[in-house]
């Protein structure tokens, strides 16, 4: 999962000086530009039906219009709120549960099969139930988000607690560190990298379920506006909103990566990266 | 012997406890939303095994498997190509990052435009959604193959074909499996909601119909059925993983023991 830090690949820069466009640094931009040009030209020359896939410029125009509407920003806020709230509940609940279950070997074995059983249950199976209980309100989606994103955190924290250095733990016990101190200064630091992997996974899953809930249940947010654009035949609008969810996803990935770096600045995997840079 | 019986006890105790608790607490439940577990299990066979299995469950599972297989084939093939070529990786990285970040469910309305609401739409949605985790993990897996191994293979002049099979494919396979696991859970989500969004058959469609008709015990059976399918698929994938990655788990264990 986690990218291997510090793997250097040989990078032959042959003609990079003579032609700046061919330099490896330009490649990502060239690649993205090609992608956008394809999005523009394929519908224009009729390879893709423009009624189903409008050219990029039209999507951009629709997006420019959306940005001027207040409802768009409200919907975006609702999506972000639901995502952040659900993720926070999942993180707090998952970390607490993971630490409690992981701290005791008996408890861990006792709950293992149940966790392995509950985890793969697709949270979307709960959609009909939450619709009956909460209707199309925000709570419906919140339940889905929390249920889906709590598992990676619990499981990762459990792994992390098991990964604690035995000597460190025994030392802490011999020194009779209080229960709280043991967790805060021995168990948590070694579980943190695992918890952060769980957090990155959970953040992405939470966004998927937030948008899904809005799209299928109709709770307020960007997903619901996509459903409305679809049913009213506003195709360019729909693509613009889909692109917005993509941008949201990218921003969130970057944010989660930054956050895990910042919280583990002392950890060897990140320090090694910094040294090799 | 004792340790075996202890392990069995540990694995069964809590699920059994939860089941019994659910049974007892819900036994005289008159609440509309939480029918007694006895009622739910009572209607389970007639709900799903009398005709509906072939009409609703099977089509869903077939769509899931076709979509997932397509995603795995394309994802692994493209991932190997992108992973082995630095130039290709440079060109495609931002596009892939963006495409991956789009929550797959929003593709349903888009793909509906092209493919209607039939089976094709659902298979494409499932394939498209589970494609990205498989692709990106394959790329990552190829990229993180040990440099020493790579150079060794080259120094020994191991031919391209064999190098590909024994070094690249092998070396990347643990990470490919991670991608497959993520892809499968996305695929299950998409299977359900593509049917909830627009369909005329399927598990997701049927559950929503029960919910709209306020057939609560039947709806609960649907939730239980979906949950079991999720669990069964994840066990199935674990079996496959244990078989294909036996060498890897063995390696890990011997490294740990050292």
**Tens-digit pLDDT string for chain A (277 aa):** 444 444 444 444 444 455 666 677 788 888 888 888 888 888 888 788 888 888 888 889 989 988 898 999 999 999 999 999 999 999 999 999 998 888 788 888 888 888 887 888 888 888 888 888 888 888 899 999 999 999 999 988 988 888 888 888 888 888 888 888 888 888 888 888 888 888 988 998 899 999 999 998 888 999 999 999 988 888 889 999 999 999 999 998 898 888 888 887 777 666 655 555 4
Residues B18, A248: C-beta atoms closer than 8 Å: no
Cβ burial of A180 (10 Å; 0-12, 13-18, 19+) is exposed
Q: How many whole angstroms separate alpha carbon B176 and alpha carbon A1?
A: 10
**Closest partner CB to B106 (pick from A122, A211, A252):** A211
Q: What is the pTM of this model?
A: 0.83
Write down the pLDDT at residue A7.
Answer: 47
* Residue A59 lies inside a defined structural domain of this protein: no
Residues A249, B101: C-beta atoms closer than 8 Å: yes
Write down the pLDDT at residue B167.
Answer: 82
Q: How many whole angstroms separate alpha carbon A73 and alpha carbon A207?
A: 17
Number of CB atoms found within 10 A of residue A194's CB: 20
Under DSSP, is residue B258 helix (H, G, I), strand (E, B) or coil?
A: coil
* Cβ(B160)–Cβ(B107) below 8 Å: no
Which positions in chain B touch A122 (Cβ < 8 Å)? 185, 188-189, 192, 226-227, 230
- Name which of A37, A14, A36, A35 is nearest A24 in CA terms: A14
Q: How many whole angstroms separate alpha carbon A88 and alpha carbon A189?
A: 20
B219: nearest CA partner in chain A: A128
Measured between alpha carbons, how far is residue B29 from residues A127, A189, B24, B220, B224 in Å?
Answer: 22, 46, 9, 14, 19
Closest approach of A265 to chain B, Cα-based (Å):
23
* Residue A3 lies inside a defined structural domain of this protein: no
Number of CB atoms found within 10 A of residue B128's CB: 22
* Residue A75 lies inside a defined structural domain of this protein: yes
Express the helix, strand and coil content of chain B in percent, nearest 5 each.
85, 0, 15
Domains of chain B: 40-257 (1.10.3720.10)
* Residue A9 lies inside a defined structural domain of this protein: no
Residues B93, A31: C-beta atoms closer than 8 Å: yes
* Residue A24 lies inside a defined structural domain of this protein: no
* Residue A242 lies inside a defined structural domain of this protein: yes
Cβ burial of B96 (10 Å; 0-12, 13-18, 19+) is buried
* Domain tally, chain A: 1
* Residue A64 lies inside a defined structural domain of this protein: no
Q: How many whole angstroms separate alpha carbon A27 and alpha carbon A7?
A: 20
> How far from each other are the two terminal CA atoms of chain A, in whole angstroms?
21
* Residue A31 lies inside a defined structural domain of this protein: no
**Closest partner CB to A30 (pick from B91, B112, B208):** B91
What residues make up the domain containing A116?
A: 70-262
- DSSP string across chain A: -PPPTT-------SSTTT-GGGSGGGHHHHHHHHHHHHHHHHHHTTSS-TTTS--HHHHHHHHHHHHH-HHHHHHHHHHHHHHHHHHHHHHHHHHHHHHHHHH-HHHHHHHHHHHHHHTTS-GGGGHHHHHHHHTTSHHHHHHHHHHHHHHHHHHHHHHHHHTS-HHHHHHHHHTT--HHHHIIIIIHHHHHHHHHHHHHHHHHHHHHHHHHHHHHT--SSHHHHHHHHHHTT-HHHHHHHHHHHHHHHHHHHHHHHHHHHHHTTTSHHHHHHHHH-
- Output the six-digit token pair for A144: 């889905």
Q: How many whole angstroms separate alpha carbon B122 and alpha carbon A242?
A: 18
**Tens-digit pLDDT string for chain B (258 aa):** 567 787 788 778 888 888 888 888 888 777 777 888 888 888 888 777 777 777 788 889 999 999 999 999 999 999 999 888 888 888 888 888 888 888 888 888 888 888 888 888 899 999 999 999 999 899 988 888 878 888 888 888 888 888 888 888 888 888 898 899 889 988 998 998 888 887 778 888 888 888 888 888 888 888 888 888 888 888 888 888 888 888 888 887 777 665
Which positions in chain B touch A7 (Cβ < 8 Å)? 143-144, 147
Instruction: State the DSSP H helix or E strand holding residue B55, giving kind and residue range, or none if neither.
Output: none
* CATH value at residue A190: 1.10.3720.10
Write down the pLDDT at residue B210.
Answer: 86
Write down the pLDDT at residue A153.
Answer: 93
Q: How many residues does chain A have?
A: 277
Q: Which of A9, A82, A162, A212 to mutate to test the interface with B (most CBs of B within 10 A)?
A: A212
Instruction: State the DSSP H helix or E strand holding residue B106, giving kind and residue range, or none if neither.
Output: none
Residues B14, A31: C-beta atoms closer than 8 Å: no
- Output the six-digit token pair for A63: 């997006």
Residues A131, B86: C-beta atoms closer than 8 Å: no
Residues A109, B10: C-beta atoms closer than 8 Å: yes
Closest approach of A198 to chain B, Cα-based (Å):
13
* Cβ(A162)–Cβ(A50) below 8 Å: no
- DSSP string across B198-255: S-SSSHHHHHHHHHHTT-HHHHHHHHHHHHHHHHHHHHHHHHHHHHHTHHHHHHHHHH
Which positions in chain B touch A133 (Cβ < 8 Å)? 33
Q: How many whole angstroms separate alpha carbon A98 and alpha carbon A155?
A: 7
Residues B103, A208: C-beta atoms closer than 8 Å: yes
- Name which of A153, A183, A157, A184 is nearest A89 in CA terms: A153
* Cβ(B89)–Cβ(B33) below 8 Å: no
Write down the pLDDT at residue B78.
Answer: 93
- Name which of A66, A52, A22, A6 is nearest A240 in CA terms: A66
């Amino acid at each position: 999962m986690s990218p291997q830090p510090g793997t250097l690949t040989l990078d032959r820069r042959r003609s990079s000086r003579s032609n700046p466009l061919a330099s490896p640094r330009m490649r990502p931009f060239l690649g993205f530009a090609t992608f956008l040009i394809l999005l523009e030209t394929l519908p224009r020359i009729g390879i893709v039906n423009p009624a189903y896939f409008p050219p990029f410029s039209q999507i951009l125009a629709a997006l420019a219009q959306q940005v001027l509407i207040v409802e768009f920003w409200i919907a975006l806020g609702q999506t972000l709120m639901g995502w952040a709230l659900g993720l926070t509940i999942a993180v707090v609940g998952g970390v607490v549960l993971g630490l409690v279950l992981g701290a005791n070997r008996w408890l861990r074995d006792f709950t293992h099969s149940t966790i392995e059983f509950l985890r793969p249950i697709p949270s979307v199976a709960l959609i009909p139930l939450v619709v009956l209980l909460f209707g199309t309100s925000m709570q419906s989606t919140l339940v889905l988000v929390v249920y889906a994103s709590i598992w990676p955190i619990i499981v990762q924290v459990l792994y992390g607690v098991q990964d604690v250095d035995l000597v460190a733990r025994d030392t802490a016990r011999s020194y009779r560190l209080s229960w709280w101190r043991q967790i805060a200064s021995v168990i948590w630091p070694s579980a943190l990298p695992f918890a952060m992997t769980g957090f990155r996974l959970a953040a992405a899953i939470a966004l998927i379920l937030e948008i899904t809930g809005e799209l299928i249940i109709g709770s307020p947010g960007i997903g619901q506006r996509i459903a409305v654009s679809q049913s009213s035949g506003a195709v360019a609008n729909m693509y613009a909103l889909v692109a917005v969810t993509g941008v949201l996803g990218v921003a969130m990935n970057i944010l989660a990566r930054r956050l895990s770096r910042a919280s583990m600045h002392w950890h060897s995997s990140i320090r090694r990266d910094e040294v090799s840079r | 012997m004792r340790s075996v019986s202890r392990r069995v006890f540990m694995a069964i105790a809590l699920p059994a406890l939860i089941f019994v608790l659910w049974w007892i607490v819900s036994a005289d439940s008159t609440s509309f939303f939480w029918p007694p577990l006895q009622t739910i299990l009572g209607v389970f066979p007639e709900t799903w095994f009398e005709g509906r299995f072939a009409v609703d469950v099977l089509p869903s599972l077939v769509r899931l498997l076709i979509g997932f297989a397509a995603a795995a084939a394309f994802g692994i093939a493209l991932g190997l190509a992108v992973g082995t070529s630095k130039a290709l990786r440079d060109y495609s990285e931002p596009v892939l990052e963006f495409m991956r970040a789009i929550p797959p469910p929003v593709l349903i309305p888009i793909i509906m435009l092209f493919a209607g609401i039939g089976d094709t739409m659902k298979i494409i949605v499932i394939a498209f959604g589970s494609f990205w985790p498989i692709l990106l993990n394959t790329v990552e897996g190829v990229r993180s193959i040990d440099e020493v191994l790579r150079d060794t293979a080259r120094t020994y002049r191991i031919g391209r074909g064999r190098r590909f099979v024994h070094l690249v494919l092998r070396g990347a396979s643990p990470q490919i499996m991670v991608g497959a696991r993520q892809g499968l859970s996305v695929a299950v989500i998409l299977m359900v909601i593509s049917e909830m969004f627009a369909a005329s058959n399927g598990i997701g469609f049927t559950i929503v119909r029960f919910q709209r008709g306020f057939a609560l015990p039947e709806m609960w059976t649907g939730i239980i059925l979906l949950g079991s399918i999720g669990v069964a698929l994840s066990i199935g994938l674990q079996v496959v993983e244990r078989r294909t990655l036996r060498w890897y788990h063995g390696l890990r264990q011997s490294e740990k023991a050292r």
